[in-house]
Amino acid sequence: TNTTQVSINDPAKADMQFRMFPNPATTELFMAFDVNETANVSIDILDLNGRVVKNVVNSVFDNGTVALTEDIR
């Protein structure tokens, strides 16, 4: 299994585009990203101390653009 972990501060490491708004978000979060090959994608929301608050995505996506809206309340 080949895993690449990418933080929002280092999106170039995964060779992908990641868009998210609004930032900061309080109720709903829109995310869009491009997947270059079939991959398991996991996206966590972290607090200011780096602790995971919520896992909003943990799915396998085929190559292409993925657009998601997540209720983060």
Q: What is the pLDDT of residues 39-58, one digit of tens each?
A: 888 888 888 888 888 888 89
For residue 42, the surrounding DSSP H or E stretch is strand 39-46
DSSP state of 36: S
Q: d(Cα 16, Cα 12) in Å, to the nearest integer?
A: 6
User: What pTM did the predictor assign?
Assistant: 0.67
Which residue stretches of the chain have pLDDT < 50? 1, 8
